[in-house]
Amino acid sequence: MGTMTRPWKLCHTADWHLGHTLHGRPRDEEHGAFLAWLLDLLEAERVDALVVAGDVFDTANPSGAAQAMFYGFLAALRHRCPSLQGIVVAGNHDSAARLGAPDPLLRGLGVRLIGASPSAASLDGPGAALDPVIVPIVVGDATVGHVVALPYLRNADLPPLEPLEDEAPGARFVRAVRLVYEATAARARTRLGEGALVVTGHCHAVGAALSEKSERPVVGGIAGALPADVFPADAAYVALGHLHLAQAVGGRAHVRYSGSPIPLAFDEERYVHQVQLVEFEGARMRAHDARVVPRSVGLLRIPREGAAPLEEVLEALRVLPLDPGLPEARWPWLEVRVRMTQPDPALRAKVDAVLADRPVRLVRIASERDGMGEGLQSAPVGSLADLHVRDVFLRRWATDHPGAPPDALMSAFDEAFAQASAAEDA
């Protein structure tokens, strides 16, 4: 099999979170619409490879419906785009073992499912031990590139390193991750020829913007965010997942988060959700093009910024422009934020009365009290499920200590939470 230099095309997407619910409401309609749109795009653009950079599912134990949606998509992909290669890596929300289990079967369909990264021991062993995460891209009868398909890296995946004197919080984590990328990229180069080197990652990168309401902190935390130079310098493209806002990292057009295809929290309502189409020629990226994902179900916040007194909110709801012709499955989701001076037991009834028979789905009412302090008690009145455990920790800290927690403490908290979450999901 030879190496060719003609242009070829890759689609980069991530953070599907199949099975996700918005305050308990399923998002199957939106995910189904996205996957149907993606299939059309891949077929129309004659894409050669699809890379999904982690968080295929919303939980490590996805529902049968979520799994059926994913595998149904792969079957349709094989039917409509028989020569396209699929490369899917696990994210921090996925179970590495569960996602990777069908890989031997799906290889025959041109799809690789990579749940686990190489063991720490394999980094110093024979190079062949790294081959499971190095995927050649074959177009016709020629190899045009290789993908170093690394999933989310957990502590157990990293080489054990001794701390350096006066090492900053998170720096040892970054050093260990760098070693993983160096070893796997070096192995890929032995087979690369004149083709392009593509690298995946599911992580938090330095300087990237995140939506804290919907992104679970990863091992290393903010203090262990990865600098862009942790990825191989000769990589033609770095396909990242974890952050839901589509963005380039550090001003480098070839190091990118594709972002999530749908908004996963009301804080993401303003995001322009997209996938990336990337074209390569030889060893370089020739062009990249963002394709905006149509939003099949709207997200509405009243008011859009902050909270407002109840009468203002009710009036805004009365004049809210809505489409009565939409089927119920496409009615927009609604969050209402009310500023109050005292509790009102009839709050929900008043909002429901205004919205009666209107084509909208109310999923949350957040009540904020006037004149309250900045501690834990200042959280919006509502379900405890609306608060991330990190928010609870920060608010508790604020009631007892001046200023923000030290970086070292937050890094330790994020790592402990990630480990607890992994144990819970296993």
State the residue for tokens 């009868």. Answer: 141
Residues 327 and 407 in one domain: yes
Domain that holds residue 130: 2-292
145 DSSP β-pair partners: 137, 196
Which of 262, 292, 322 is where one domain is finished?
292
Residues 189 and 304 in one domain: no
Q: What are phi and psi of 271, to 5 degrees?
A: -65, 145
Q: Which amino acid is at 392?
A: V
Q: Residue 375: what pLDDT?
A: 33
Instruction: Locate 130 and state its tokens.
Output: 């790294």
Residues 352 and 257 in one domain: no
Question: Are 147 and 7 in contact, with CB atoms under 8 Å apart?
Answer: no
Which of 244, 271, 292 is where one domain is finished?
292
Q: Indicate the DSSP class of residue 254.
A: E
Residues 120 and 80 in one domain: yes
Q: Whats the size of the chain, residue-wise?
A: 426
CB crowding 404-424: b at 16 or more within 10 Å, else e:
eeeeeebbebbbebbeebbee
Question: Are 179 and 218 in contact, with CB atoms under 8 Å apart?
Answer: no
Residues 169 and 66 in one domain: yes
Residues 138 and 263 in one domain: yes
Q: Which of 62, 71, 53, 58 is nearest to 14 (CA)?
A: 53
Residues 383 and 244 in one domain: no
- Angle formed at CA 252 by CA 143 and CA 231, multiple of 5 degrees: 60
Q: What is the pTM of this model?
A: 0.85
d(CA 359, CA 328): 7
d(CA 136, CA 148): 9
One DSSP character per residue, 342-377 reads S--TTHHHHHHHHHTT-S-EEEEEEEEETT--SSGG
Q: Residue 46: what pLDDT?
A: 97
Rg (CA), the chain: 23
pLDDT digits (tens, 9 = 90+) for 4-63: 557 899 999 999 999 999 999 999 999 999 999 999 999 999 999 999 999 999 999 999
Q: Counting Cβ atoms within 10 Å, is residue 70 exposed (0-12), middle (13-18) or buried (19+)?
A: buried
Residues 391 and 245 in one domain: no
Question: Are 367 and 382 in contact, with CB atoms under 8 Å apart?
Answer: yes
State the residue for tokens 């500023």. Answer: 339
One DSSP character per residue, 153-168 reads PPGGGSPP-PPPTTPP
Which of 229, 257, 292 is where one domain is finished?
292
d(CA 293, CA 30): 11
Residues 251 and 320 in one domain: no
Peptide bond into 261 cis (omega under 30): no
Residues 278 and 389 in one domain: no
Q: Counting Cβ atoms within 10 Å, is residue 6 exposed (0-12), middle (13-18) or buried (19+)?
A: exposed
Q: Residue 377: what pLDDT?
A: 35
Q: Percentages helix, strand, coil for the chain, rounded to the nearest 5?
A: 35, 25, 40
CATH number for the domain that contains residue 163? 3.60.21.10
Q: Residue 374: what pLDDT?
A: 37
State the residue for tokens 């890379």. Answer: 51
Low-confidence ranges of the chain (pLDDT < 70): 1-5, 211-224, 371-388, 391, 395, 398-403, 407-408, 411, 414-415, 418-426
d(CA 6, CA 139): 10
Q: Which of 414, 395, 385, 423 is nearest to 217 (CA)?
A: 414
State the residue for tokens 């006037």. Answer: 370
Residues 96 and 130 in one domain: yes
Residues 278 and 240 in one domain: yes
In total, how many domains does the chain have?
A: 2
